């Protein structure tokens, strides 16, 4: 931001503003998708394609964005998705993001490939008090590790640091085919590493070890036995998997295609969400992510059955542009846009939003 007028007034402009702040390698890593990037493009396009159907003259006195996400009463439904290696965007990395989340009462899901330790991120969130006293939960995203002892170590660190849920990512048993990363020759620069992992990097160079390590439904029993935290699965798109997750006693689902970074040409999340919602029939709470860039997108996601949304790339764009203040501003912009969209649709309480809001 410079001068009197901000350099960006919405999340699309934010992506452009971040361009000059990022190295070519970091930009390729953050912005890219899998394959020909059809799913990357379909995610935002399919939110845009949905049409809101406004209602008029509805009472709006007392409107608010408060809602529930799982057992958490939250000030608004906009959370930060797990995004790895945030020190590629800003030297303070995930600490700055966490301070912004706490200041804006936004939940944060910390990547297990974080470039800052979970203990430091949790402390940073605690140092920033929300004046209204609203909570900003910190959840820990888990990538299943080849070694159970290491998986257990991650779980125990997250618990001890005060994380209030685990998010097991299930849509990336292998790294997607990412031409942009290969073209840019992406590798982590000196000083940035996955601090929770002994070798500091996520991926093995051949498929076999990854596939051996990939978790199955059976492993969820082990996970359940080894944590007292609620477990959410991230990366569910198929109603049949949603039903299996319910049977497996999971606590919530994140409808996600990993921001179009794993399987190209797979379904968009706006397409999958109502189908997953129909499968779980309100018995499992849902979050959704992928291409959510406007308050209208957030309202559509809630209308289709999600309790809230996660924001991926814009958080690292905002971090690159303005550190913690940039991320805080990004969350605030989206929340204000959501409030406007709600008012114009005659919706005073997100808990009453449903498919009647959509044409």
258 is catalytic: yes
Kindly state whether residue 81 participates in binding ligand FMN, applying the rule CB under 6 A.
yes
**Could you say which of 82, 93, 107, 305 contacts ligand FMN (CB under 6 A)?**
82
Q: How far is it, in rounded angstroms, from Cα 169 to Cα 162?
A: 20
Helix (H, G, I), strand (E, B) or coil at 64: strand
Kindly state whether residue 170 participates in binding ligand COI, applying the rule CB under 6 A.
no
Which residue is listed with tokens 């049409």?
A: 51
Kindly state whether residue 26 participates in binding ligand COI, applying the rule CB under 6 A.
no
Helix (H, G, I), strand (E, B) or coil at 65: coil
For 203, other C-beta atoms within 10 Å of its C-beta total: 13
Residue 43 interaction partner, one of ligand FMN, ligand COI, none, beta carbon < 5-8 Å per kind: ligand FMN
Residue 291 interaction partner, one of ligand FMN, ligand COI, none, beta carbon < 5-8 Å per kind: ligand FMN
Kindly state whether residue 202 participates in binding ligand COI, applying the rule CB under 6 A.
yes
Kindly state whether residue 90 participates in binding ligand FMN, applying the rule CB under 6 A.
no
CA angle 157/158/164 to nearest 5° reads 150
Kindly state whether residue 113 participates in binding ligand FMN, applying the rule CB under 6 A.
yes
Helix (H, G, I), strand (E, B) or coil at 42: helix
Size of residue set near ligand FMN by CB under 6 A: 23
Binding segment toward ligand FMN, per CB under 6 A, in 146-154, 306-314, 339-347, 348-356: 306-314
Give the residue from 308, 349, 313 showing the smallest Cα distance to 330. Answer: 313
Beta strands in the chain (DSSP E): 67-69, 72-74, 78-80, 108-110, 138-142, 166-169, 231-236, 252-255, 286-289, 308-311
Kindly state whether residue 158 participates in binding ligand FMN, applying the rule CB under 6 A.
no
Residue closer to ligand COI by CB (options 105, 113) is 113
What is the footprint of ligand FMN within residues 204-243 (CB under 6 A)?
234
**Could you say which of 261, 293, 294, 317 contacts ligand COI (CB under 6 A)?**
261
Q: Which residues contact 307 (CB under 8 A, 6 or more apart)?
A: 67, 68, 69, 70, 77, 285, 286, 287
x/- binding map, residues 213-252, to ligand COI, per CB under 6 A? Answer: ----------------------------------------
Catalytic residue ranges: 258
Which residues are at the interface with ligand COI (CB under 6 A)?
84, 113, 172, 202, 258, 261
């Amino acid at each position: 931001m410079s001068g009197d007028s901000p350099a960006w007034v919405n999340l699309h402009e934010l992506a452009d503003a971040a361009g000059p702040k990022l190295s070519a390698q970091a930009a390729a890593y953050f912005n890219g998708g899998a394959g020909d990037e059809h799913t990357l493009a379909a995610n935002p396009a399919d939110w845009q394609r949905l049409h809101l159907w406004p209602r008029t003259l509805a009472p709006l006195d007392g409107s608010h964005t408060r809602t529930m996400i799982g057992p958490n009463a939250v000030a608004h439904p906009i959370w930060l998705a797990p995004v790895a290696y945030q020190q590629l965007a800003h030297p303070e990395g995930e600490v700055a993001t966490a301070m912004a989340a706490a200041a804006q009462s936004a939940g944060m899901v910390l990547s297990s490939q974080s470039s800052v330790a979970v203990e430091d991120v949790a402390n940073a969130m605690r140092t920033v008090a929300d004046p209204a006293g609203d909570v900003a939960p910190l959840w820990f995203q888990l990538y299943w590790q080849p070694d159970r002892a290491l998986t257990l170590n991650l779980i125990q660190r997250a618990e001890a640091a005060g994380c209030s849920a685990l998010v097991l990512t299930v849509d990336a048993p292998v790294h997607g085919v990412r031409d942009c990363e290969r073209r840019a020759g992406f590798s982590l620069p000196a000083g940035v590493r996955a601090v929770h992992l002994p070798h500091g990097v996520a991926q093995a160079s051949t498929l076999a070890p990854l596939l051996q390590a990939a978790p199955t439904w059976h492993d969820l029993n082990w996970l359940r036995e080894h944590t007292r935290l609620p477990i959410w699965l991230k990366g569910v798109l198929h109603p049949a998997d949603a039903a299996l997750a319910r049977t497996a006693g999971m606590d919530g689902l994140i409808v996600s295609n990993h921001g179009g970074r794993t399987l190209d040409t797979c379904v968009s999340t706006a397409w999958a969400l109502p189908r997953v919602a129909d499968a779980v029939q309100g018995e499992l709470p849902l979050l959704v992510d992928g291409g959510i860039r406007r308050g209208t997108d957030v309202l559509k996601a809630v209308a289709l059955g999600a309790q809230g949304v996660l924001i991926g790339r814009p958080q690292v764009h905002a971090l690159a542009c303005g550190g913690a203040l940039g991320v805080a501003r990004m969350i605030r912009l989206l929340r204000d846009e959501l409030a406007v969209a709600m008012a114009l649709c005659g919706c005073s309480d997100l808990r009453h939003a449903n498919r009647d809001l959509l044409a």
